[in-house]
Amino acid sequence: MKIRSILTAALALLLATGCNAQNKQENTNTITQSNNKTMNKIVIFFSHAGDNYSVGNIEVGNTKIVADYISEITGADQYEIVTHKYDGMAYMPLIELAKKEAADGELPPYEGAAPDLSKYDTVFIGGPVWWGTYPQVMFTLFKDIDLAGKTVIPFTTDEGSGLANCVSDVKKAFPKANVTKGFSIYGHEVRTGKAKVEKWLSSFK
Ligand SMILES: Cc1cc2nc3c(=O)[nH]c(=O)nc-3n(C[C@H](O)[C@H](O)[C@H](O)COP(=O)(O)O)c2cc1C
Domain positions in the chain = 2-202
Confirm or reject: Cβ of 63 under 6 Å from ligand 1: yes
Confirm or reject: Cβ of 131 under 6 Å from ligand 1: yes
pLDDT, tens digit (0-9, with 9 covering 90-100), for 120-139: 999 999 999 999 999 999 99
DSSP the chain: -HHHHHHHHHHHHHHHH-S----------SPBPPSSS--SEEEEE----EEETTTEEESS-HHHHHHHHHHHHH--EEEE----TTTT--HHHHHHHHHHHHHHT-----SSPPP--TT-SEEEEEEE-BTTB--HHHHHHHTT---TTSEEEEEEEESS-TTTTHHHHHHHH-TTSEE---EEEEGGGGGG-HHHHHHHHHTT-
Confirm or reject: Cβ of 94 under 6 Å from ligand 1: yes
> Does the pLDDT of residue 25 top 70, yes or no?
no
Mutate to test the pocket of ligand 1, among 5, 23, 45, 52 (most ligand atoms within 8 A of CB): 52
pLDDT, tens digit (0-9, with 9 covering 90-100), for 50-99: 888 888 888 999 999 999 999 999 999 999 999 999 999 999 999 999 99
| CA-131 nearest atom, ligand 1 | 8
pTM of the model: 0.86
Say which CATH superfamily domain 2-202 falls into: Flavodoxin domain (3.40.50.360)
